[in-house]
Amino acid sequence: MKKVLLQLDTEEHPSPFDAIVAHDADVDVLLSHGNVTREDARALAQDAFFTRGPDDLKNTAIWVGGKHVGTGEEIFAEVQKAFFGPFKVSVMLDSNG
């Protein structure tokens, strides 16, 4: 099972720094999205975790980044609202490094 990281970035262009860190952490697949808004977050998160069964979700994670901490916090909260029952993955907020 491949390790997948969904990168949700508030900036127009997702951070290359964050992408390199992900690759150096042995992520197999990095899915980077820029200009992510609070309204986008839930659907993107669910698209990432509905593809796998509960036992395989340990290989999926979500990273919220960008320069704006407040917007990142909103996206982080929406991602967490997407979870229910066994459908949960690790999620990290790292806005403004």
What are 54-66's pLDDT values in tens digits? 999 999 999 999 9
Average pLDDT over the chain, rounded to an integer: 94
Q: Which two tokens stand for residue 4?
A: 């997948």
The amino acid that residue 65 corresponds to is: G
CA neighbours closer than 13 Å in the CB half-sphere of residue 25: 15
Mean pLDDT of 71-96: 95
H helix and E strand count, the chain: 3, 4
pLDDT, tens digit, 9 for 90 and up, residues 4-46: 999 999 999 999 999 999 999 999 999 999 999 999 999 999 9
Query: How far, in Å, CA of 93 to CA of 97, rounded?
Result: 9
Q: Which uninterrupted H or E stretch holds 45?
A: helix 38-49
Indicate whether 97 pLDDT > 70: no
CATH of range 4-93; options 3.20.20.70, 3.40.50.10280, 3.40.640.10, 3.30.300.30: 3.40.50.10280
